[in-house]
Amino acid sequence: SPYRLFSPFSRDSTPSPHKMAESRVRRERFAGESYTVLGDQDMNKGCYYWELRPLNDWKSLSVGVAYRGNLGRFDQLGKSAGSWCLFASQWLQSSLAAKHNNRAKALDWQLPQRIGIYCDYDHGDLLFVDVDRLCLLHSFKTKFVQPLVPAFTVWCGSITIATGLQ
C-alpha cells in the first residue's frame, strides 16, 4: 500500500509508492506502529486554529493535540492523559466521539464535512467545531503542562489540512 508523505510546503498528503528514508527528527513525528502523525510545530503559548477536511474515501479518523513524547509505540489519540481528540467513523454506522485519557464521550452530531480545531494554550481550551454548520461539537478544559503538537490519525482514507501555524 502507498505511504503518505507530508511536506512542510504542502497542506495535504500525497501518495508515494516508496518508503523514504527518514531522519530521527522526522521519525518522531510518527507514533510508532499506529497511523498517527504529529505536527512539527510546538504549541506552547497563545491561540492556534486549523481545519481538517476528510476526503471522499475516508472511513475513520481522529484529530486533536498531544504532548509530543506522550504517545507510545501503539497508542492511539485520546487513550492517554497527554492526548485529546475528536474521533469520527463511518465504518458500519456514523459515529462521533470526544476522547481523552482512555475515556470516550459519544457526541450526538452529524459527521462534519470540515472540522475546525481551536486551541488556547494559555487558558487550557481545546474546541472542535463543525465549520460548515458553525456549531461547537465538543470542548475540553484543562491545564496544558507541556508543549502540544497537532495530531492526526486516518484509517482508510485521506484528509486535507489547512493551518495558520507558522
| Domain span holding position 53 | 30-163
What letter would DSSP give residue 16? E
Instruction: Specify the range with the lowest mean pLDDT, choosing from 16-25, 37-46, 81-90.
Output: 16-25
153: helix, coil or strand? Answer: strand
pLDDT of residue 109: 93
Evaluate whether residue 93 is within a structural domain.
yes
- The confidence score (pLDDT) of residue 40 equals 86
Q: Is residue 156 part of a domain?
A: yes
Residue 17 belongs to a domain: no
The answer to whether position 10 is within a domain reads no
Count: domains in the chain: 1
- pLDDT tens figures, 109-161: 999 999 999 999 999 999 999 999 999 999 999 999 999 999 999 888 889 99
Give the pLDDT confidence score for residue 73 in this predicted structure. 59
At 29 the pLDDT is: 45
pLDDT range class, residue 20, cuts 50, 70, 90: very low
Q: Give a yes or no: residue 79 inside a domain.
A: yes
Asked if 106 and 95 count as a contact pair (C-beta separation under 8 A), the reply is yes
pLDDT band with cut points at 50, 70 and 90 for residue 72: low
The CA distances from residue 111 to 27, 89, 142, 155, 165, in Å, are: 31, 8, 25, 16, 25
Q: Indicate whether 21 pLDDT > 60.
A: no
Mean pLDDT (the chain) is 81
Lowest mean pLDDT: which of 61-70, 95-104, 115-124?
61-70
Domain-embedded: residue 121:
yes
Is 2 among the domain residues?
Answer: no
Whole-angstrom distance, CA of residue 48 vs CA of residue 161: 14
CATH of the domain at 56: 2.60.120.920
Instruction: Indicate if the pLDDT at residue 18 is higher than 50.
Output: no
Q: What's the CA gap between 34 and 48, in Å, rounded?
A: 25
Distances from the Cα of 75 to the Cα of 51, 68, 71, 112, 151, angstroms: 23, 12, 6, 25, 12
